[in-house]
């Protein structure tokens, strides 16, 4: 797999927790990402996508948020009429380590997920995989 130039990426981070938004932004800067856009919830994130369009290379989105959660955000993103915007890679952040909690959002079409707390190497790996690889196949999730 080719190495991603992190410095060239524009990443949208959507999380309702101020601390987590800033932490993920800091970790992104630590791995070389220069442009980070922050949003407090899915509705604000969708507004950022519509305003910035295909300038956004990848989205990191919390699963559980008020106003518009991660599953609803991904569903709306994937249904945008603009094909470039609707295909922006998405990595979901979750506090749950079991795949059962992400089944709904995987079915909407995500490219990866990360369990909080976020580790630098894991974030870098998921970003690269999300940009270069396919979406997660819901059939391959472990279900109870």
Task: Give kind and range of the element (H or E) at residue 23.
Answer: helix 18-30
Distance of alpha carbon 42 from alpha carbon 39, whole angstroms: 8
Report whether the peptide linkage leading into residue 32 is cis, meaning its omega lies within 30 degrees of zero.
Answer: no
At the topology level of CATH, where does 6-139 sit?
Rossmann fold (3.40.50)
Look up the pTM and report it.
0.92
Q: What is the pLDDT of residues 79-131, one digit of tens each?
A: 999 999 999 999 999 988 777 778 889 889 999 999 998 899 999 999 999 99
């Amino acid at each position: 797999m080719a190495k991603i130039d992190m410095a060239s990426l524009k990443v949208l981070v959507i999380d309702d927790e101020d601390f987590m938004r800033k932490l993920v932004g800091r970790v992104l800067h630590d791995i070389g990402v220069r442009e980070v856009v922050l949003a407090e919830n899915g509705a604000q994130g969708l507004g950022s996508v519509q305003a910035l369009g295909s300038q956004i290379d990848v989205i990191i989105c919390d699963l559980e948020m008020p106003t518009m959660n991660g599953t609803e955000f991904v569903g709306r993103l994937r249904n945008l009429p603009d094909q470039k915007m609707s295909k922006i890679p998405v990595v979901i952040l979750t506090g749950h380590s079991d795949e059962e909690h992400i089944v709904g959002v995987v079915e909407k079409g995500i490219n990866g997920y990360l369990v909080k707390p976020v580790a630098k190497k894991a974030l870098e790996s998921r970003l690269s995989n999300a940009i270069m690889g396919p979406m997660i196949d819901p059939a391959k999730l472990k279900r109870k």
